[in-house]
Structure 1
Amino acid sequence: MRGRLTYQGGMAGSGGAGAAATIQGNVRVEGGDISADDIGLKPHTHYVAGAGAQTGPATA
């Protein structure tokens, strides 16, 4: 396929060996989030090394 892929209603898939999907280049998400194993990119936090304090969620 060449050109832009446009779809409605979501997208699902699965793969055999290796990754189910590989995207080269930028990915832009508008009005949503990206998650892996139920951890969202936008709301997730980290702990500050040494201090043990939790960071806030991601900001733009």
Structure 2
Amino acid sequence: MTIEEEIDNLITKELDFLDTEHYNTAIVICDNVIKALTKVSSYTDNESIYMDIQHWEEIKLKLEKS
């Protein structure tokens, strides 16, 4: 299972048992993935990278709202 799938699973499951530390860790992971993809996107004009960035930003927003 990829990190992205694991985070998606966290979002879609019951999250009551997770404490703030788990959310913060997941948000930091999202931030790091977004930063890495943004850096890669500066070297190439691949539309799928931009879609990946949007996807990770959506995951981050969902985590922040939880």
TM-score range, shorter chain: under 0.3
Which structure would you say has the larger RCO, counting Cα contacts within 8 Å and 6 or more residues apart? 2
Q: Which of the pair has more CA radius of gyration? A: 1
Higher strand share: 1
Per residue, is there more helix in 1 or in 2? 2
Could you tell me the TM-score, scaled by structure 2's length? 0.24
The two structures have a TM-score, normalised by structure 1, of 0.25
